[in-house]
Structure 1
Amino acid sequence: MAKWGEGDPRWIVEERPDATNVNNWHWTEKNATPWSKERLQQLFDDFKIGQSDIECVVDAVDKCTGEATVNNRKGKLIFFYEWELVLKWSGRLLNNSNLSHKGKLTIPNLSEENSLEDVELTVTIDESNDESETLKQFMYNVGRERVRQQLGVYIKELKEEYSKNLILPKKSDDGIALNANNAKNAAQKTASGVTTPSSAGNNSSNAKSSSVGCKLDVRTLSMCEEFHCNANDLYNALTKPDMVTAFTRAPAKVDAVRGGEFVLYGGNVLGKFEELVPEKKIQQSWRLKNWSSGHYSNVVIELEETSSSTMMTLKQTGIPASEYDAMRTNWHRYYWHSIKQTFGFGSSIADAL
């Protein structure tokens, strides 16, 4: 944490009385997977779908696999969820034989990547006959829409439940009356004379013009990941604008030449290429937008093709210590897992995370 009067004012704890995630600048994350599994079970437990002469009901959630997380990045909430569901259903024609027929409704791709209208729902029956085919058609025409509505309830509640306390209020929003003089005096004592009360009060504006740099505690990150593709394919995925746009799911600027710039994830990741060796090596000056002005880490990505896959090793030096744990997680989530999922280069979610 920077001392008073030193470096980027976004790190100054005075901005929040509890000194927690100042201005929501760090990546924070909540795991919504256990809650989601329980809520999806509740939403479809004994869920009835019917009309005058037809009665269908979801008897059980036969399969519920996937994950859900909620992230706060620079004060913006981002929801990630990816589920595969299989619902067991049964139905009967009330004015006919009254026999019960059973089937399944499969939802393979419930995720934030697809609008609710685009989520695929497949209806099947266990045994085919005139009655069961009528019920199947009813579930296709009416049941699928009712199930979509329940999925919409889950998505709405996920966003409401996991928005709570993830974006923390700023000083002006806390509703806690701070004594400005006491805060300044406490800061002055903590800084052991580095600053004065008057300079503390004007720190935000002074930091922009001050020549004093931010003393950063930095870390080095190393990781290795296997991709089921050749080295050229992985190199292209990391350097071709259309492929980078595909796995980041956002417009990307990528000028893959020495000295060329890249801007990803809405401007939150940026830098330039320092060295490029096709199919072998990518070296970058790399930073997050919210890092101290002018501070870049050094990223070296090396590729080694084997008989059945490509091994990728990454070494990143100069990571602010406070960002180290999140950096490891986010390389996996937003780069390696996303590349594998988008281009079919990899393995399951569990292996990627």
Structure 2
Amino acid sequence: MAKWGEGDPRWIVEERPDATNVNNWHWTEKNAGPWSQDKFKELFSNLKINSDIADIQVVEVEKCEGEASANNRKGKLIFFYEWNLHLKWKGTSDSGKKYSGTFKIPNISEENEVSEFDITVSLKDEDDDEASKIKKILQTNGVATVRSQLGRYITELKQEFTKGMILPKKDEIKPDKVVNHSSGFNKTKVNMQPIHSEKKQDGVKLDVTTIKDTQKFQCTAKEFYDAMTRIEMVTAFTHGPVKLDLFKNGRFELFGGNISGEFLEFEPGKKIVQTWRYNQWPSWHHSTVTLDIDEKSDHTEVTLTQKGVPCAEAEVTKGNWQRYYWDSMKQTFGFGSFIH
């Protein structure tokens, strides 16, 4: 049985409060329904809608029916939600006349994008020109404001329950810091001590090389790209805390800080370019990783090109990509292996 800091992270025996289901490897589920109902009340209470002819606000959630849950199966986070909302709004025109009505959203679910949610507007006593103008505002500015809040609900749902589904480790520190625990990149097994070929007064020169690898995944190009760039998916296949900022020069830290770098370029579903370094390398040395993503008719082909890898560590680094990235992603997300 593996000791803490050795072997496959899923089979590590560690000291923890509940001593069971490390990293929620087995199927776990959390009911997000009560949290969601409270969140809807928070998002749609006294919500102002921009208008230059009336003071309009969503005042309350009149009806909230449905359910939501967060699930973890072998480190893969899956969110289910299905809601039918009626939101009550009220408004007072510049002339002092009062109006009221509802927004109805019957199809809030993970199967649709926020932009695809069907939102209808009702208005009582719409028998005058002023009422018609207000309804047009509700159908434009009002619907846009409601969509924005629904987007916040989905984002905050995932943020809230992602934290709960990846269980804390023995020495977990504050959430805004990367947990400094041993990872799959084990110092004893990996033996990635940098080899210095030439010492200079102001630095160290390394003998470096380029490694290349091509992998096939049973998924779409978008699914692979998401697995490498969405923090909840990266957290799932690396089995530990992650820091990741997906913008140009945004930083990332994986495997307890053992791997770090910056995003240099990204094209959704096509390419990812990043600096990449192992923490045992000299602090000034980074390699450059390029992932070219090519979707075929029945699979997605990914080509890894990593420039600037210390020569003495090239084979080990390539093996770690295979074990801790490719194999883990295939097992975690069901991307599978192809047999020809």
User: TM-score when scaled to structure 2?
Assistant: 0.46
User: TM-score when scaled to structure 1?
Assistant: 0.45
More helix by share: 1
